[in-house]
Amino acid sequence: MSAYCLATYRSFDEKADFHKKAQGIAVGLTVGSWTELPEAQKASMEKHLGKVVSVDVHEPAAGESLSGRYADITIAYPDVNFSRDIPALLVTVFGKLSMDGKIKLIDLKFSTDFLAGFPGPKFGLQGVRDLLGVHDRPLLMSIFKSVVGYELPALREQFYLQAAGGVDLIKDDEILFENPLTPMEKRIAVCLEAAEQASKETGQKLLYAVNLTGPTSQLAARAKRAISEGANALLFNVLAYGFDVLHELSTDPAINVPIMAHPAMAGATYPSPHYGIAASVLLGKLMRIAGADLVLFPSPYGSVVMPKEENLAIKQVLLTQDLRNDYSYQAEADASLKLATSFPVPSAGIHPGIVPLILRDFGTDVIVNAGGGIHGHPMGTIAGGHAFRQAIDATLQGVHLRDYAQTHPELKAAIDTWGIKE
């Protein structure tokens, strides 16, 4: 029995016969030609042939521009046509097709067979919580303020101030590469020392995600060196390297720390309505099957904005247990196959007055990630961390931030500075 992976496209065209187009995709991206094949050959080729699953045409209303005419087309691609890796899947379903007019890949659904090649996040949401020993609240993460051109003592100081404020995770800046001022090994040493100092004061554990950079073939070795130096998490610019590189790193048994996927470059691919790959696929499904334990993406709250519905679509695919295809064409009688969930990290423009919105939109299985909202606190970086923790506590207790701020001066100062977003 064959299994199929499904791709859904939004295709814009003012006058196309979308059903014919769908048939063209199903044949063109698989066996190449079909109707002219001899019947005997059809029998042997049938298992390689793509199938049109659905074509939903959206005609513009009377008086509306034809430029808004589109169809959502779902095609089933036989697994037998491609190897069990993300490059093969993407080249099959959106290699040549990506260049064929206004067309966007808006969903992917994986067969049980295909997913079997992807163990997914090694830690996932639950594993990250276990490492930190925090199960009852959203986590708090912070980002260095400035790193390029800074020396080790300045980096250590920034790290300590963030850690002392009670954050759970600190990540390297994604633009911090191997450099003479703060090379990876030395950076790990001073930051972990600062983490230990802070931990004595806060009683908390902390994950430091070190930016994994350099030539592709050396990444695994560099990751292992970072881990041997004490790094307890990694940051990775997945889209600058490719999903398969993340997949190989995440399935390497010796890389036994959580991997945090950074969305750098993602804006080159998801935002256009007419081209590219939807955010829920790019930063959601593909990141998760490739093994990202935590996934950063632009929040709908700040200056770097993603529409709320796209954010929630990412959240949904990161947190929904089963990513299998529900397409029953020659469906497998399949065993249970569950991936660990990935921690969603909506980022950018976050200050304590936004925490209630984050928890309303994401629930408690979310990481509140702040940069300027911590470092820019009028009472300093440590107070900045405290203000966030207070905002989280207040929201979990169902207390309005303004009321909680009466007895929590750090939160009050934050609110006086940035306000509360309702």
Which residues are designated catalytic? Answer: 96
CB-CB contact of 251 with 48 (8 Å): no
Tell me how far, at minimum, the Cβ of 62 lies from a copy of itself, in Å. 24
For a copy of itself, the closer CB: 244 or 365: 244
Q: Which amino acid is located at 61 in the chain?
A: A
- Pick the piece of the chain touching a copy of itself (CB under 8 A) from 131-139, 189-197, 273-281, 380-388: 273-281
The answer to whether residue 263 forms part of the interface with a copy of itself (CB under 8 A) is yes
User: What is the size of the binding site for a copy of itself (CB under 8 A)?
Assistant: 75
The answer to whether residue 242 forms part of the interface with a copy of itself (CB under 8 A) is yes
Which helix (DSSP H) or strand (DSSP E) does residue 370 occupy? strand 367-370
Tell me how far, at minimum, the Cβ of 52 lies from a copy of itself, in Å. 17
**Residue choice 185, 193, 229, 244 for contact with a copy of itself (CB under 8 A):** 244
* Packing angle, helices 219-228 and 243-250, rounded to 10: 40
Residues 125-154, interacting with a copy of itself (CB under 8 A): 145-149
Q: Are strands 4-12 and 70-78 parallel, antiparallel or unpaired?
A: antiparallel
CB count, 10 Å around CB of 205? 14
- Pick the piece of the chain touching a copy of itself (CB under 8 A) from 74-82, 126-134, 197-205, 308-316: 74-82
Tell me how far, at minimum, the Cβ of 348 lies from a copy of itself, in Å. 8
Q: How many residues does the chain have?
A: 422
The answer to whether residue 82 forms part of the interface with a copy of itself (CB under 8 A) is yes
Query: DSSP letter at 256?
Result: -
- Pick the piece of the chain touching a copy of itself (CB under 8 A) from 62-70, 77-85, 318-326, 396-404: 77-85
Residues 149-188, interacting with a copy of itself (CB under 8 A): 149, 174-175, 177-179
The answer to whether residue 352 forms part of the interface with a copy of itself (CB under 8 A) is no
Tell me how far, at minimum, the Cβ of 392 lies from a copy of itself, in Å. 25
Instruction: Mention every residue, 6+ apart, whose C-beta is less than 8 A from residue 82.
Output: 88, 89, 91, 92
Residues 20-49, interacting with a copy of itself (CB under 8 A): 29-33, 44-45, 47-49
Tokens linked to 235: 């940051």
Binding mask 86-125 for a copy of itself (x = CB under 8 A): xxx-xxx-xxxxxxxxxx-x--------------------
CA proximity to 295, closest of 116, 120, 104: 120
Residues 204-223, interacting with a copy of itself (CB under 8 A): 213-217, 220
Rounded CA separation 79/105 (Å): 18
CB-CB contact of 250 with 257 (8 Å): no
Rounded CA separation 386/370 (Å): 12
Rounded CA separation 282/271 (Å): 11
